[in-house]
Structure 1
């Protein structure tokens, strides 16, 4: 068995690793699913959401006898949103814990960094939150990176479409964080605008931890923007709203789901009306399937109100991802990595978020992503709660 240090040092070529591991490590996988996510730090709610969704699905699977006669379990490590830690955790999950698959976490910078070790080692990765396009569309063949989550390329098209419906002038600005996630979204947003026959009137970036976005806000305002698309996390989203308030500018804001966590708590009334894309929400009216899952979450985690779940999409995406992996294991009749990867392409599953028919398509490089744009939803911050937009007064103006 190759050691973690040998992989890290690049001593063994990728082809040799895959060739030898196919007869050794691949045959020894354990009935566990690993996850590297932010358990600490300002985005810790993302790791908690993944844990809740994955563990609930695993509990249900184990109650029915498990998989191939074995009980499944979740192994979760903290990466605090730091790519080096995510890479180390990936190798630990694959080579030490020998898990059958890895669930991807909240931060796109981590997901992009994980693509190399995942494909080098050859363990199936199924992202459930990070949306960076190139994390999954990474040029590897075979590609072991899959996703049951939103994809920025598709999110950009969805949000631009919504923006052009809401904007009378079509003058749209883009504010994005200076990270792999934000910088990766810029070409996606520009491309979506170009396909609609439009250009951004302004594109302004900022860094994590910036306390004042006034210069960027003034430039976007003075460029004539009446609507702003945002790729930011809650902490910086709060500063964007406060800077807008400082200069007396209140444009329509439509955001990627980085503002789906605790923006309402941070910004208070300033967050009212901010629209955020999601794949799932526990807020508002519940159908029977959603109610059944919510009842299990209440019993297992002690949550009392859906607003306590800061990333409902993460819960539901992780829940669906575990079931898709489980069905792939059943189809493969094995915990063997290559066999499970191949079986992922033949999984059909009616999930919480989507009706996956199939979950992935081997003939289409874009279809390493399972959740199609038709399943995306708009939610809106209303009195510190993120509600489905159709259940609020904001639906009349959207």
Structure 2
């Protein structure tokens, strides 16, 4: 099937009914006009976590695709993206600008745990939705009653930690474990989930090392963990820190069983810079199809997504983060579609609790299905292992 056919197929699948719905009446919601819906996003376009910007670029491209098909209910989506450099104070400043100057209806896919947490109080105080945050921090669920206008999207980092713990207990019950984690809520959630999952075996963690996202290197932490005698290494950090960790582990001849976080599992952006042979055997948890995995070469969902990227996001890496950004954009569009004539901020949030959605780039068996009792969109993960060329799913 040709790329044009796939674009047509995906357009039909994702946009069915959009143009057939009547235009919404004039709305009093900031950012909503007769012809436009303005959405804001803060993300690191610069700084040490700039690789995460791939998410935002893919989201913008998907909105371009939707707009080319007429938009949602006759309105075009205008995405206003501001650089926060992965700095919490800057994220607050830019969020204020989006709300007060840019007059956005809501924020979608703000990237990063510390940055989104910093802006959460301001946005909830004004009842501005902070939707599908690019973070798996447990706080989006644990503190939902206090911050009802904030909602995550991906599986929680605590769940990721428990998933890794289960596999360690099954395959290496006597393991000596070292953990390298980013010193923020996200990294601490991973560590907490890992310990909870290990239970009594948590005493087998022989070394914990933290790092800041701004640290120039994590080499000293890797050397310290090797000295602990650990034979299992769990790493949670940015793509930059993950690249450094994998390189240093290889260079010093340390060969533990290695687990890395799914946010930093991109083949082209992380494993290729490390050296594919050096990354062989690494394990990660996942919920999206990896575009670099030959397993999905003939998959219609991946082929349609690739065709979309070729047309609307030319030159961009077709990696895990780009797939993530596309999926979040598709979820946003579905919410707007369901809003119909009511684009109030209250209804926008309400519709995030009414989703029943299968996305082409989610792993087989995974589906977005939300309710008032279970508002978090994606909750499950599957383990995968890198074979030196691509990621392979390890079990159902």
After superposition, give the CA deviation of every residue in 1:84-129 in whole Å (9 maximum; x if it has no partner): 1211222222333232321233321112112212211112222353
Q: Map 1:204-283 to 2 at 5 A.
A: 204-207=209-212, 208-214=214-220, 216-261=221-266, 262-268=269-275, 269-280=277-288, 281-283=290-292
Are 2:376 and 1:369 aligned?
A: yes
Are 2:42 and 1:36 aligned?
A: yes
Q: Map 1:270-349 to 2 at 5 A.
A: 270-280=278-288, 281-283=290-292, 284=294, 285-286=296-297, 287-303=299-315, 308-309=318-319, 311-330=321-340, 333-349=341-357
The answer as to whether partners of 1:329 and 1:343 remain within 8 angstroms in 2 is yes
Cα shift at 1:174: 1.3
Separation in structure 2 between the aligned mates of residue 139 and residue 62 of structure 1, nearest angstrom: 32
After superposition, give the CA deviation of every residue in 1:309-359 in whole Å (9 maximum; x if it has no partner): 3624423432333233323422xx222111211222122222232788764
How many residues align structurally?
356
Point out 4+ residue stretches in structure 1 off by more than 4 angstroms.
195-199, 354-358
* TM-score, normalising length: structure 1: 0.78
Counterpart secondary structure, 2:76: coil
The answer as to whether partners of 1:176 and 1:183 remain within 8 angstroms in 2 is yes
Q: 1:220 to 1:323 in 2, by over 3 A?
A: same
Separation in structure 1 between the aligned mates of residue 241 and residue 367 of structure 2, nearest angstrom: 37
Q: 1:308 to 1:338 in 2, by over 3 A?
A: closer
Counterpart secondary structure, 2:29: helix
Counterpart secondary structure, 1:270: coil
- Identify the match of residue 137 of structure 1 among 133, 142, 167: 142
- Identify the match of residue 111 of structure 1 among 96, 104, 116: 116
After superposition, give the CA deviation of every residue in 1:225-273 in whole Å (9 maximum; x if it has no partner): 2211111122222332343335421111111124224222442243333
Are 2:180 and 1:175 aligned?
A: yes
Gapped runs of 5+ residues in structure 1? Answer: 1-24
Cα shift at 1:38: 1.2
Q: 1:200 to 1:44 in 2, by over 3 A?
A: same
Separation in structure 2 between the aligned mates of residue 359 and residue 98 of structure 1, nearest angstrom: 30
* Greater share of helix: 1
The answer as to whether partners of 2:176 and 2:231 remain within 8 angstroms in 1 is yes
Separation in structure 1 between the aligned mates of residue 78 and residue 70 of structure 2, nearest angstrom: 13
Q: 1:324 to 1:84 in 2, by over 3 A?
A: farther
Gapped runs of 5+ residues in structure 2? Answer: 1-26
Separation in structure 2 between the aligned mates of residue 84 and residue 359 of structure 1, nearest angstrom: 34
* TM-score, normalising length: structure 2: 0.79
Separation in structure 2 between the aligned mates of residue 240 and residue 368 of structure 1, nearest angstrom: 35
After superposition, give the CA deviation of every residue in 1:157-188 in whole Å (9 maximum; x if it has no partner): 12222333442523322111223322343222
After superposition, give the CA deviation of every residue in 1:177-234 in whole Å (9 maximum; x if it has no partner): 22332234322222222287765232222233243534x4455345442211111122
Separation in structure 2 between the aligned mates of residue 129 and residue 195 of structure 1, nearest angstrom: 32
Separation in structure 1 between the aligned mates of residue 240 and residue 67 of structure 2, nearest angstrom: 38
Are 2:392 and 1:389 aligned?
A: yes
Q: 1:170 to 1:26 in 2, by over 3 A?
A: farther
Aligned to 1:120: 125
